[in-house]
Amino acid sequence: MTMEYTQLGRTGLKVSRLVLGTMNFGPQTDEADSHTIMDAALDAGINFFDTANVYGWGENKGRTESIIGNWFAKGGDRRDKVVLATKVYGNMALDDSPVWPNHDKLSALNIRRAVDASLKRLKTDYIDVYQFHHIDRSTPFEEIWQAIDVLVQQGKILYVGSSNFPGYKIAQANEIAARRSGTIGLVSEQCLYNLAERRAEMEVIPAAQDYGLGVIPWSPLHGGLLGGVIKKEVQGGRRASGRAATTLADPVARAQIQSYEDLLDKHGLEPGEVALAWLLTRPGVTGPIVGPRTDEQLRSALRAVELELSEELLAELDEIFPGPGPSPEAFAW
């Protein structure tokens, strides 16, 4: 297959329509297998890799970035071929350390501390897209952009994105950036968005489109619910756990997922591939984040790029998973 590329929001940066998520690297996938998956992704044309400083979690916070850094260190132009995105916000102090302030969120001090630590773990001297993992209600954007301006001038970061921002914060961030000479503002928003969770369509995605941000959906399979979870249970495969199991315990939600699987079975299509392909049809979407644990999961995600969904099927999917509609019509007359 041939990977498709698009520009990230209003920038000239070209990225693949699939984003390699690395959250499983360390906690669920060991370093050797993580390196194999990254090599396979790069060979398939995926050039956009997403991570975060807290990935690895608990006492292993930072482990995922270190795994990626060790992969870069193997050479072969790996770093030059990758558009690297990581995140800042989470508390990076070790769990058994004394509680000291300024180890988290978006103060100028923590941003400076966090980016240097990420660069060291990633074994690189720059980050392509540095993302705010969450809004910081305590730090004004004037302070945040001042810190970012310094890092851009130092060549440590190139672009800035947001994650889990509401629409009004996207607007606020970029309006304040526009008042600062030379500050480009946010160029991407990474949000929860999939067939079963479409609230982002109300305000987050319209705000991103108006301000020229690329939209990067996370959890495109909604925690596995859109990946054929009921069929897998029936066939004796991996059973749903966590949020997916809780959702399936609700008869109404289970019936909805069953209708989805039945529809795609009728069309001879794989649920997980359709869920990804649907996102690729949505206005404003740059590409969803896929987090394969195996080579087969990566191949399945790649097939979604070439999968064309008919207008009939798209309409049937809307019937099963109706979106909220645009705001304010979604909540007003």
Catalytic residues: 55
Alpha carbon distances (Å) from 48 to 17, 36, 285, 297? 9, 16, 14, 17
The two three-digit tokens of residue 212, written as one number = 């020229």
Q: How many CB atoms lie within 10 A of CB 281?
A: 12
Residues belonging to the chain: 333
User: Which ranges in 179-228 belong to alpha helices (H)?
Assistant: 204-210
Q: What are phi and psi of 130, to 5 degrees?
A: -100, 120
DSSP state of 15: E
DSSP state of 30: -
CA 276, chain centre distance (Å): 13
Q: What are phi and psi of 81, to 5 degrees?
A: -85, -15
CA distance 4 to 70: 27
Closest CA to 60 of 92, 104, 106, 99: 92
Q: What are phi and psi of 133, to 5 degrees?
A: -70, -20
55-91 residues labelled b (16+ CB within 10 A) or e (exposed): bbeeeebbbbbbbbbebbeeeeebbeebbbbbbbbbe
Alpha carbon distances (Å) from 69 to 38, 78, 98, 149, 166? 12, 10, 28, 25, 31
CA distance 93 to 186: 27
